[in-house]
Amino acid sequence: MSKTRINISTDQDLADFIKVYAAENRTTVADIFTQYILFLKRNSDGETVNEILSNPVFHKSMNEAHSKLKSGSAVWHSYDDVFGD
């Protein structure tokens, strides 16, 4: 399947975090977003989900984020609020 470019804007602190997270988990930022979007797509289509990223903390965080976004209960914080200086 051919690929296309999508530009996503986010806070610099969050961009820095996801780059470090990707490097620590030997993957790419694009792969992280792709897996998350595929998870959402397959979940909404009622398909089973086979995640490439098997990190249980990532899986739990992804599910919690999805639930909060869906319910509208997400509370946004800056990178510094979450991780400190």
Of 8-12, 27-31, 39-43, the poorest mean pLDDT is in: 39-43
Transcribe 20-72 into DSSP letters: HHHHHTTS-HHHHHHHHHHHHHHHHTT-----S---HHHHHHHHHHHHHHHHT
pTM of the model: 0.51
User: How does residue 74 score in pLDDT terms, banded at 50, 70 and 90?
Assistant: confident
Residues 22-37 have a mean pLDDT of 87
User: How does residue 49 score in pLDDT terms, banded at 50, 70 and 90?
Assistant: low
Say what the pLDDT of residue 50 is.
Answer: 55
